Structure 1
Amino acid sequence: MNSDNDNAQDGGDAPAIFIIIGQVSQETGGDMVPVHVLLAAPDEDTAVRQCLDALSAKGFAEADLDQIGMMGGMPDEEPHASAYQGALEGEVAIINFDRLANGD
């Protein structure tokens, strides 16, 4: 039994890139807008903690995280492709859909 690293089957040394989907608000009780966060982390708990820290640092007062999963590789389309690359480089990449959804 060789199970020293359960992630080894997914590509060896490549870090696990998580995507966290949720909604955020700039003010408590304010309008929530969709957000996707991509980041490298050793496990889900660490990913959620790093995500919340990054959202707070960007000025979001409230976050409702709905889903977490692992990315299966580099996405084909933007803005997720750039965010994935940033996550590989150690960044916490936040895709805020507020401007994309705001058609004013």
Structure 2
Amino acid sequence: MDSDNDNVHDSSDAPAIFIIIGQTSRRKGGDMSPVHVMLAAPDEDTAVRLCLDALSSKGFAEADLDQIGLMDGAPVEEPHASAYQGSLEGEVAVIAFD
């Protein structure tokens, strides 16, 4: 069970970083390509809304979001390491695999 108690989290100052995995297309009915989106958000609903807004602003016409989860630490491999750092700084990081 999640709690807002700071004692529950290892680093109470760090925001919750979500990763959302799905498929996107730049045009309606087009071929779908994998995408990973990393962002800070207070809850899953907000994370999904911010993700969809970011995908739309980057020119994606369709998105099928498959999974959402919380990151339990910083990844070491690129491009996810940079995306994680950007997310800590308030960015919505979109990693598109074309």
Q: What is the TM-score normalised by the length of structure 2?
A: 0.93
3-state secondary structure, aligned to 1:73: coil
| CA-CA distance at 1:9 after TM superposition | 1.8
Partner of 1:44: 44
| CA-CA distance at 1:46 after TM superposition | 0.1
- For 1:24 and 1:58, the matched residues in 2 are separated by 11
| CA-CA distance at 1:21 after TM superposition | 0.1
How many positions carry a matched residue from both structures? 95
3-state secondary structure, aligned to 2:72: coil
| CA-CA distance at 1:37 after TM superposition | 0.1
- For 2:46 and 2:5, the matched residues in 1 are separated by 17
Unaligned runs of 5+ in 1: 99-104
Partner of 1:102: none
3-state secondary structure, aligned to 2:54: helix
Matches within 5 A, 1:82-101: 82-98=82-98
Structure 1 segments of 4 or more deviating over 6 A? none
For the aligned residue pairs, the C-alpha RMSD in angstroms reads 1.2
Unaligned runs of 5+ in 2: none
Partner of 1:59: 59
- For 2:5 and 2:44, the matched residues in 1 are separated by 14
Question: Which of structures 1 and 2 has the bigger CA Rg?
Answer: 1
- For 2:16 and 2:6, the matched residues in 1 are separated by 8
Q: What is the TM-score normalised by the length of structure 1?
A: 0.87
Matches within 5 A, 1:21-40: 21-40=21-40
| Structure with the higher helix share, 1 or 2 | 1
Percentage identity across aligned positions?
76
3-state secondary structure, aligned to 1:22: strand
Partner of 1:9: 8
| CA-CA distance at 1:48 after TM superposition | 0.1
- For 1:35 and 1:26, the matched residues in 2 are separated by 12
Partner of 1:71: 71
| CA-CA distance at 1:8 after TM superposition | 5.0
